[in-house]
Structure 1
């Protein structure tokens, strides 16, 4: 493939995705520090202080407390975040298991007493707007897939830029910025240099971002694949009219996940379980395994657990890519590095637009000069 073709690939992939990538970089910057900004901007409710040996309430008692707070609704999920919200249980309820996401509400309960600590209203605020713009442009799945396509174009633009930069640098020392020449040439050198400096980071963020946009499709594949295979013996059976104890389901599942920590419980009929099972999800305690989940399905009527299976590779890839996309593996130092690289990428994108617009302006000026010269030469 010759240099001219690589130039055209780089030019058009960059032009198509630049404005959207610029938006993603700007909205992604505050999301890198979303935990810290949540503490700063939002009114958080903390569980009251109690003796350290205060026992946890039964999950059945917590379920009853949640249902009493929102009568006529059903529980979809119960989840925990002990690192940022100790002694708090989050319960997601909706009018029905298949209700739209916007119809669901989340209650915050004290894990030890079952008392209602908070009932947040519909999502909103600065971080919510940044998140929705970054994830789906407020357009749902079509918006997610569109941004995923922009991410793939960004990856192609990076690869083609590297191919073009290699022969270009044969004539110059690496990192050369010709400040004594024209402003446009200086920005061209700076654009190329910064693009190479952020190369690996941009590829990682671009690829993980594209993977993250496939999350609804990945969940659907898991439901139709592994989940359907694990629950094949229940196919065709009517859903149970009464489900058993969620605490008993947790106790049964815990025996199949020793050394792991509880992360989420999905009620029968919800997105992450079957109509006949509780889906109990555990996570590890290392920086890597804490991002991965191990599901255990427990029969909601009989109370026995199905043989656990590790999640398929495509689900694990999604789980690992989500925190990597925002630099959420190494604490504040990695977040700061991610933010600095994000800012540098913004400079690369803006300089690319400047170079393209400057090139078009220069070409238009030359055409105008030629036309004017031709008119003056006429008698």
Structure 2
């Protein structure tokens, strides 16, 4: 009796968690497929960019490049700048109306680090890939959409676990990959559903779990701001607001580079932005290997005096978030891993679609069985 109750309980969990999240998971799988190949698709939609400069030309100073960006967008203030490994010889600068303005109103500029020439002023809030990304991340609903998709991810993980508990013992009685072609269509799809579920099990757990972590990006940022960043900037809590000219960015980067010679600069956040304080440059350093380049190390430099005030390793929960982002889209292993991710993504679409079919087929079969029972009862009563 206990076993029957246990099976019924797992069946209930598997049915309802699957039904609730299936439509949104189909959307995630469909939008996730082009996002796996976002770099390749973006390259197809734009001309190949090559940075040209005379041989032997030294790179411009970071201060000069930021000044060029501000002149290109008069009235804007500098917010972020970062170096893109995919496009060496360029510096990406973000400017906005204020240090805390929304990214949707910000302007972006790509500068040639050798000539200072403006290479591009991209618009990131339009186009096919932007639509796919927003649908995948937050359904164009901001933090509420992210948390909702995170809830769907949790239901997905529960559906996987309940599926293992429900069908694992049953499948031990059959050969792996067995599909009963001589049986009904519903049984064939059930066997296909179970087989693909087992094949994609590990991948689905990894992608589902990392997807849930990714939806917590705003929560992770807030926890870091209220925790480590507050600790690092505590001595400046009552400091007077910045005024006048600021210290050199190039000197700030040089100071941090001496403290972390095994790393390279990745991103600089200016005073007043979400990644810094009102008195500091936040310089984020990254490793030089495919794994360590995802793990950032923040350093704070007094934007007025140019002195290094603190440098620390990120908390474990922030590093977990950094690692989960590329793992979710298969960005660690180049094209071979992306192809594997895409195959599993397509298999998951089949699993979700077959799950819906099985549910509707089961309901139809139950209705037909009930109708037959009612018909037989009426015939007996009239006899």
TM-score normalised to the size of structure 2?
Answer: 0.95
Q: What number of residue pairs does the alignment pair up?
A: 377
The reply to whether residue 16 of structure 1 matches residue 20 of structure 2 is: yes
The reply to whether residue 286 of structure 1 matches residue 284 of structure 2 is: no
Higher alpha-carbon deviation: 202-211 or 84-93: 84-93
Structure 1 runs not aligned, ≥5 long? none
Look up the SS of the partner of 2:290 in the other structure.
Answer: coil
**Root-mean-square deviation (Å):** 1.5
2:38 aligned partner: 34
CA contact (8 A) 2:53 2:115 kept: no
Quote how far apart the aligned CAs of 1:367 are.
2.5
Quote how far apart the aligned CAs of 1:56 are.
1.0
2:255 aligned partner: 252
CA distance, structure 2, for counterparts of residue 361 and residue 321 of structure 1: 41
Higher alpha-carbon deviation: 172-181 or 29-38: 172-181
Q: Residues 266-290 of structure 1, C-alpha deviation per residue, up to 9 Å, x if partnerless? A: 1011111111110111111112101
CA distance, structure 2, for counterparts of residue 263 and residue 50 of structure 1: 25
The reply to whether residue 235 of structure 1 matches residue 237 of structure 2 is: yes
Q: How does 1:135-146 map to 2 (within 5 A)?
A: 135-146=137-148
CA contact (8 A) 2:180 2:187 kept: yes
2:97 aligned partner: 95
Quote how far apart the aligned CAs of 1:259 are.
2.2
Structure 2 runs not aligned, ≥5 long? none
Residue 347 (structure 2) aligned to one of 316, 331, 344: 344
The reply to whether residue 363 of structure 1 matches residue 371 of structure 2 is: no
1:165 aligned partner: 167
Q: Residues 110-155 of structure 1, C-alpha deviation per residue, up to 9 Å, x if partnerless? A: 1112211111235211111111100000111000000011001100
Quote how far apart the aligned CAs of 1:307 are.
3.1
Quote how far apart the aligned CAs of 1:373 are.
4.6
Q: How does 1:186-201 map to 2 (within 5 A)?
A: 186-201=188-203
Quote how far apart the aligned CAs of 1:343 are.
0.7
Q: Residues 176-211 of structure 1, C-alpha deviation per residue, up to 9 Å, x if partnerless? A: 211111111111111111101100000000000000
Q: Residues 215-237 of structure 1, C-alpha deviation per residue, up to 9 Å, x if partnerless? A: 11101110110010011100022
Q: Residues 36-63 of structure 1, C-alpha deviation per residue, up to 9 Å, x if partnerless? A: 1110013454322432x42110111101
Look up the SS of the partner of 2:309 in the other structure.
Answer: coil
Residue 217 (structure 1) aligned to one of 191, 199, 219: 219
CA distance, structure 1, for counterparts of residue 185 and residue 240 of structure 2: 72
1:154 aligned partner: 156
CA contact (8 A) 2:301 2:310 kept: no
CA contact (8 A) 2:65 2:116 kept: yes
Residue 71 (structure 1) aligned to one of 67, 71, 74: 74
1:317 aligned partner: 320
Q: How does 1:323-334 map to 2 (within 5 A)?
A: 323-334=326-337
1:86 aligned partner: 88
Q: Residues 69-116 of structure 1, C-alpha deviation per residue, up to 9 Å, x if partnerless? A: 11111010011113x212111100100011112111111111112211
Q: Residues 247-276 of structure 1, C-alpha deviation per residue, up to 9 Å, x if partnerless? A: 221122211110211111110111111111
The reply to whether residue 115 of structure 1 matches residue 117 of structure 2 is: yes
Quote how far apart the aligned CAs of 1:302 are.
1.2
Quote how far apart the aligned CAs of 1:378 are.
6.3
CA contact (8 A) 2:124 2:130 kept: no
Quote how far apart the aligned CAs of 1:344 are.
0.7
CA contact (8 A) 1:284 1:293 kept: yes
